[in-house]
């Protein structure tokens, strides 16, 4: 590898550069960039299967730099990716030579059609000129040479899919690292060269670090909360009451608007209060809602007038849901708030303990994902939750527990897995719709303790083959 590439790789994997404890998105940490390959006028990488011409044509460092430098000054019409993982994921998904993505397939077909049309147009033009005087001989020859050149050097290779060799896979992975590293290096170099003018210059091209992909200053999820939701998240009763009492006219509409207020992910104050375990706050909001809800019809009319979709019917009950369908009960379970769970399920209009989100995820699944064994036991033994329920992807309690990073520690996660298997009959070899077993999920989260426990359990029950394998 070149000295430049060795310098770029010093310090670890460029993909994992942003793996830090921050609530900012990777693009807000590292900056944004368009894909150099998407910006190229024609596909720059051509790797033809060994069943055809056995051609391996990857980009050199100079070629990559040339592609990066040719990115248009304005990127408003281009899709942006975060430096590092974002760009790398796009390259693998769209530009892998033996398995191009839909966007690349569409692009190559369009380029092929354009070249074929241009070739036919030139051929027709040459045929018409064959009967003219010899004075046009040079002109005709020039056109014929252009056709020959297009066929020999710039014709877009046909799209093919094949099973790559180990060498092809290795070389493509290295190529992706090169493109990602050089793209970021060129961006940093441009910033250093621009100096004080970087803000005005970059705003016309790609968003800076600390910005979202639209160029606006990044705010963490928590910092972006409206005041009423932030107070609910913090359990700040005095601020909640102050915000409620601020409006003296149209009191009912004012309260309804605050209770229906959503953050950027569709969560309401009830979601935040329940997730934080703030009992007094959520009781206060329930009392407010009871005061303004005369009957179901009036409540529905009020919700309609406020253009809110936070209240949705579940059987004969109305449940406050997030945009993805999760309820306050989901977040109480996710964060191990046992007293909050008891309170929510003790209400007259309480949701079912097995209430599902938009993709079929239940509160028990969320408790397993949080790694709270006491919460799982509370849901199953006290409230009768179905430990064998699956979501729409056929992921069950075993899959969610295997992914848990364990807020209460690794021992608690193993205790949870043992409880699910031995007391609830949960199958830790089941495959979801994509073919993933709990072992796949544990591996994706690097949960070594879960992997070792699964291996020990499989050996003792002679289920090693069923434990995992190719998905």
Indicate whether 284 pLDDT > 80: yes
Query: Has residue 192 been placed in a domain?
Result: yes
Which of 176, 190, 234 lies closest to 9, judged by CA? 176
Q: Residue length, the chain?
A: 471
Single residue among 348, 367, 389 that ends a domain in this structure = 348
15 SS3 class: helix
**pLDDT class of 280 with cuts at 50, 70, 90:** very high
User: Which CATH number covers residue 243?
Assistant: 1.25.40.20
Average pLDDT on 418-442 reads: 92
Q: Could you tell me if 413 and 371 are in contact, meaning their C-beta atoms sit under 8 angstroms apart?
A: yes
> Are 38 and 185 in the same domain?
yes
> Are 367 and 293 in the same domain?
no
Query: Has residue 24 been placed in a domain?
Result: yes
State the residue for tokens 């699964």: 454
> Are 365 and 444 in the same domain?
yes
> Are 61 and 187 in the same domain?
yes
Query: Has residue 28 been placed in a domain?
Result: yes
Q: Look at residue 223 in the predicted model and tell me its pLDDT.
A: 81
- How much of the chain exceeds pLDDT 90, in percent? 33
> Are 62 and 191 in the same domain?
yes
Q: Look at residue 74 in the predicted model and tell me its pLDDT.
A: 65
Q: Could you tell me if 80 and 36 are in contact, meaning their C-beta atoms sit under 8 angstroms apart?
A: no
**H or E segment to which residue 153 belongs:** none
State the residue for tokens 């769970």: 341
**If you write DSSP's letter for every residue of 325-387 in order, what string do you get?**
S-BHHHHHHHTT-HHHHHHHHHSTTPPPTT---TTS--HHHHHHHHT-HHHHHIIIIIT---T
The pTM of the full predicted model, rounded to 2 decimals, is 0.59
Single residue among 348, 371, 401 that ends a domain in this structure = 348
> Are 270 and 397 in the same domain?
no
> Are 339 and 380 in the same domain?
no
Query: Has residue 113 been placed in a domain?
Result: no
> Are 468 and 342 in the same domain?
no
Tens-digit pLDDT profile for residues 135-181: 565 665 565 555 444 444 445 555 667 888 888 888 898 999 999 99
**pLDDT class of 104 with cuts at 50, 70, 90:** confident
> Are 332 and 445 in the same domain?
no
DSSP 195: G
Q: What are the helix and strand counts (H, E) for the chain?
A: 24, 6
Tens-digit pLDDT profile for residues 187-246: 877 766 655 444 433 334 555 556 665 666 667 778 888 999 999 999 999 999 999 888
> Are 407 and 276 in the same domain?
no
> Are 197 and 316 in the same domain?
no
What token pair was written down for 437? 């077993």
- Bridge pairing between strands 317-320 and 46-47: unpaired
**pLDDT class of 108 with cuts at 50, 70, 90:** confident
DSSP 321: B
Q: Look at residue 363 in the predicted model and tell me its pLDDT.
A: 95
Query: Has residue 130 been placed in a domain?
Result: no
Q: Look at residue 211 in the predicted model and tell me its pLDDT.
A: 65
Who contacts 165 (Cβ-Cβ below 8 Å, separation ≥6)?
50
State the residue for tokens 């993909």: 15
Tens-digit pLDDT profile for residues 303-349: 444 444 444 443 334 566 666 789 999 999 999 999 999 999 998 88
Tens-digit pLDDT profile for residues 366-407: 999 999 999 999 999 999 999 999 999 899 999 999 999 888
Report the domain count for the chain.
Answer: 3
Q: Could you tell me if 92 and 23 are in contact, meaning their C-beta atoms sit under 8 angstroms apart?
A: no
**Domain region containing 428:** 352-471
What are the residues facing 415 on neighbouring strands? Answer: none
**If you write DSSP's letter for every residue of 82-122 in order, what string do you get?**
ETTHHHHHHHHHH--TTS--HHHHHHHHHHHHHHHHHHHHH
Indicate the burial class of 255 (C-beta count within 10 angstroms; 0-12, 13-18, 19 or more): buried
What token pair was written down for 244? 């409620």
User: What's the whole-number average pLDDT of the chain?
Assistant: 77
Query: Has residue 126 been placed in a domain?
Result: no
> Are 340 and 235 in the same domain?
yes
Single residue among 169, 203, 237 that ends a domain in this structure = 203
């Amino acid at each position: 590898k070149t000295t430049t590439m060795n310098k770029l790789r010093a310090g670890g994997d460029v993909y994992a550069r942003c793996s830090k404890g921050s609530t900012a998105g990777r693009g807000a940490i590292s900056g944004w960039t368009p894909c150099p390959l998407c910006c190229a006028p024609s596909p720059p990488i051509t790797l033809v299967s060994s069943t055809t011409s056995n051609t391996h044509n990857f980009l050199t460092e100079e070629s990559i730099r040339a592609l990066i430098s040719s990115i248009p000054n304005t990127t408003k019409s281009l899709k942006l990716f975060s430096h590092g993982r974002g760009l790398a994921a796009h390259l693998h998904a769209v530009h892998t030579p033996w398995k191009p993505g839909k966007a690349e397939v569409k692009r190559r077909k369009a380029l092929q059609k354009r070249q074929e049309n241009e070739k036919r147009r030139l051929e027709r033009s040459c045929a018409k000129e064959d009967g003219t005087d010899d004075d046009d001989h040079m002109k005709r020859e020039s056109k014929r040479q252009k056709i020959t050149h297009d066929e020999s050097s710039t014709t877009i290779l046909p799209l093919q899919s094949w099973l790559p060799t180990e060498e092809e896979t290795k070389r493509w992975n290295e190529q992706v690292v090169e493109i990602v590293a050089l793209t970021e290096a060129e961006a940093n170099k441009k910033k250093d060269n621009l100096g004080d003018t970087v803000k005005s210059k970059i705003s016309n091209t790609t968003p800076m670090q600390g910005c979202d992909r639209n160029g606006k200053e990044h705010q963490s999820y928590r910092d972006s909360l409206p005041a009423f939701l932030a107070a609910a998240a913090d359990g700040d009763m005095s601020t909640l009451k102050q915000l409620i009492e601020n409006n003296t006219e149209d009191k009912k509409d004012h309260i309804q608007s605050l209770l229906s207020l959503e953050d950027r992910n569709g969560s309401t104050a009830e979601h935040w209060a329940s997730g934080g375990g703030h009992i007094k706050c959520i009781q206060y909001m329930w009392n407010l809602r009871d005061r303004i809800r005369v009957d179901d019809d009036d409540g529905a009319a009020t919700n309609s007038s406020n253009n809110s979709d936070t209240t949705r019917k579940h059987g004969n009950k109305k449940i406050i849901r997030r945009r993805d369908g999760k309820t306050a009960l989901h977040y109480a379970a996710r964060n191990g708030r046992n007293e909050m769970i008891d309170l929510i399920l003790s209400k007259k209009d309480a949701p079912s303990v097995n209430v599902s989100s938009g993709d079929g995820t239940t509160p028990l699944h969320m408790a397993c994902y949080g790694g709270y064994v006491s919460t799982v036991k509370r849901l199953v033994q006290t409230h009768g939750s179905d430990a064998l329920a699956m979501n729409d992807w056929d992921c069950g309690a075993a899959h969610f527990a295997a992914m848990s990073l364990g807020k209460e520690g690794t021992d608690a996660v193993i205790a949870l897995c043992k409880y699910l298997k031995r007391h609830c009959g949960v199958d830790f070899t089941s495959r979801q719709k994509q073919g993933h077993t709990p072992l796949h999920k544990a591996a994706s989260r690097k949960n070594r303790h879960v992997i070792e426990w699964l291996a020990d359990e499989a050996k003792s029950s002679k289920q090693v083959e069923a434990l995992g394998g190719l998905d």
